[in-house]
Structures are given as C-alpha cells and as structure tokens.
Structure 1
Amino acid sequence: MDAEERIARGLLYTEDDAAFLSGGRRADLLFEYNRTPPGAVEARTRLLGRILGSVGRNPVIASPLHAAYGSNVHIGDDFYGNVNLTLVDDVEIRIGDGVMIAPSCTLTTTGHPVHPALRHDYNRFSEPIVLADRVWLGSNVVVLPGVTIGYGAVIGAGSVVSKDVPPMVVALGVPCRPVREISDADLDQRQPPR
C-alpha cells in the first residue's frame, strides 16, 4: 500500500511518506496574509483564495492565521475566524456556511501514536474534520482528527472535541460532550438589535 492510500485510510505514515504533499504548503502566502493590514479587505480576500483550497463569499479571518498547508482547507460563505486560528490540515478540513470560530482555536487533522516506539520519523495519522453550517466554536477550542460537528452546534470555550457532535446541541468540556439541545427557547435569550 502506498503512502497516499495509507494517509487516505487514516493509517500511520512518516515525514518521508508525506513529502509528496509539500507542494500544498502555503507558508510564504500565510506570512504575507499575516502582514497585510486588516483594512485591506480585497487584498486579504485574494490571498485567502490563494492560500486555502476553496473560499466562499465574505470570508473574514483575523491575523494571525496559521496552517500546516492551507490548501487542504475549504470554507463556505460568511465564515468568521478570529485571531490565532490554527489549522493542521495534513488532510481536508471542510467548514460550512455561517461558521464562527472564536480566538485561539485549533483544528488538527493529525495525531501521533501513543507508544513511543511508533513515533519514529514523526510517524502520524490524519483524518478529515468537518464543521457543518452555522457551527460556533468558543475560544480555545481544540478539534481533534476525524471529528464532524453537526449543523448549528455550539462548542463551549476551552473544550477538546475528540468525538462527533450532533446537530443543534451545546457541547462542552474535556472531553467535549453534549449538555443540552438548542431549541426555540434560545431565541429569547439575546435579541438581535432592532
């Protein structure tokens, strides 16, 4: 089995195995993006289009933005990512429409084996991450490899998400777990400006 197939199946692969992925790294463009003034909206949007695999309409990502590659990240329309967003995108990260991510969040598709004998040559595994439409991640959330977060879910600040989260729930903690459903009663909690 070749390296590409091992990566696709979530099996272990080494740094040498991953060499063929290096063309997807966007380090210089990320550096340029992080040095572009916040008010230069058109320039920043153009740069995001060159850094990320795909970008929907009206993206806003505050600097600094960090990514392992950048090219494996796909964001939908009306995305908001606050400062210190870190995307470890050795494989795909798919983010839907209307997603909001608070400061200092990490989405990592890649992990390492627990046993030290298996960690030679940076041995690792990677599994895709999916954030469905209208997800909101609170500050300092970490999303681990292979996780899907369902439509409209809210992840509480400081959570570590190691398992899938169903749609329309508030989930939080270490490890993150659903604590309640989101319902129409939540429409009365905070009213939009009139």
Structure 2
Amino acid sequence: MNEIDKMRSGALADMSAPELHASFVHAKKILAELRGMSTYDDGYRELLEQLVPDLPSTSIICPPFHCDHGHGLRIGEHVFINANCTFLDGAYITIGAHTLIGPDVKIYTPHHPLDYIARRESKEYAYPVTIGEDCWIGGGAIICPGVTIGDRCVIGAGSVVTKDIESDSMAVGNPARIIRKL
C-alpha cells in the first residue's frame, strides 16, 4: 500500500513520501493559477477540472478555493461551493447532490497523533468527511475529521461539527448540536 492509499484509508501515512509531495505540489500549482481568475474567466473551469476529477458540469466552486490534493474531493451534481472555502482532502470529502456550502467553510480530514513526540514526525491520519444530499452548510462552519452529515441537514453559520449529524436535522453551535428536526 503506498502512502496515498494509506492516507485515504485512515492509516498513519508518511506525509514526506514523494507521491504525497508530488500530489500536494500539483494542487498548489493549479490553485495558484486559479487564484487570479474568476469563475467567468476563460480557462477557469478547465483548470478546476484538472484539480478536481469528475467535477460535474452542474457544480460550481467559487474562487478563492483551497485544498491539499483536489483528487480527494467527490462532488455531486448541482453543488455550490462559495468563496474562500478550505477543504483538506487527505481522506475523501464527499458532498452530495444539491448541497450548498457557504463562504469560508472549512472541511478537515487530517488528524495528527496525540502524543507530542509522534507529532514531531511527518506522519498523520486522515478520516473521511461525508455530507449528504440537499444540505446547507452555513458560512464559516468547520467540519472536523471523520464526520458524516446526513441528507437534508442545515448546519448553522460558524458551527463546529465534531460528531455525526443525522439526516433531516438542524445543528448549530460549538460544538454543533441538533436543535431541531426538519
């Protein structure tokens, strides 16, 4: 199993491995090119599709956008990702169809060892994040590693989601908690 496979599967991966470094550099080069463009500029979409494979033509990612690799993003049809989002896609980040992501949303999959000596090494875990269909993630929300948000959920602006949220729920706060069923 190579280091990208380890990273995607939740195993402790060596972030200094050449294949991970190459993936990271590839994404950063494309992101640097995208930074000066708008979604309406010629070439924006083509560059974005080099970064995020299989991005549906009905889905939009507004600049500026930040990610670690790009190929760890699985985005459904009719997804809208607003400006200034950061998706750290060590593990897969899956976003279901018809989901709206507000500006400044952060989705994190990396998780470092808790032992401070182990953290000195260039190794980390990554746990997938899954967001269901027809969700609305409010601006400034943070989704932590390993979280699953069910279908048709609303996550309030500025919320920090540390645990799974069941379908048809509205969750708010830090840490986010379900305040009502939808």
Q: Aligned-pair distance for 1:19? A: 3.3
Q: Aligned-pair distance for 1:49? A: 1.3
Per-residue CA deviations over 1:34-79 (Å, capped at 9, x if unaligned) read: 2223322x63222221111321132222211001111111111111
Residue 108 of structure 1 contacts residue 144 of structure 1 at CA under 8 Å; is this kept in 2? Answer: yes
Which structure has the larger Rg?
1
Flag structure 2 segments of 5+ consecutive residues without an equivalent: none
Q: Counterparts in 2 of 1:165-180, with a 5 A limit?
A: 165-180=165-180
SS in 1 for 2:43: helix
Structure 1 window deviating more from structure 2 (109-118 vs 96-105): it is: 109-118
Residue 57 of structure 1 contacts residue 76 of structure 1 at CA under 8 Å; is this kept in 2? Answer: no
Q: Aligned-pair distance for 1:165? A: 0.8
Aligned-partner residue type, residue 65 of structure 1: F
Q: Distance in 2 between matches of 1:19 and 1:106?
A: 26
SS in 1 for 2:13: coil
Residue 38 of structure 2 contacts residue 62 of structure 2 at CA under 8 Å; is this kept in 1? Answer: no
User: Equivalent pairs: percent with the same residue?
Assistant: 29
Structure 1 window deviating more from structure 2 (2-11 vs 84-93): it is: 2-11
Length-normalised TM-score, structure 2: 0.89
Aligned-partner residue type, residue 35 of structure 2: N
Per-residue CA deviations over 1:147-190 (Å, capped at 9, x if unaligned) read: 111101010111111111111110111111211011xxxxxxxx
Aligned-partner residue type, residue 39 of structure 2: P
Asked whether 1:119 is paired with 2:119, we answer yes
User: In the alignment, which residue of structure 2 is the partner of 1:21?
Assistant: 20
Cα pair distance change 1:85/1:124, threshold 3 Å: same
Length-normalised TM-score, structure 1: 0.84
Flag structure 1 segments of 5+ consecutive residues without an equivalent: 183-194
Q: Aligned-pair distance for 1:23? A: 3.8
Residue 45 of structure 1 contacts residue 59 of structure 1 at CA under 8 Å; is this kept in 2? Answer: no
Residue 4 of structure 2 contacts residue 13 of structure 2 at CA under 8 Å; is this kept in 1? Answer: no
Asked whether 1:163 is paired with 2:163, we answer yes
Q: Distance in 2 between matches of 1:128 and 1:178?
A: 21
Pairwise CA RMSD: 1.9
How many residue pairs match? The answer is 180
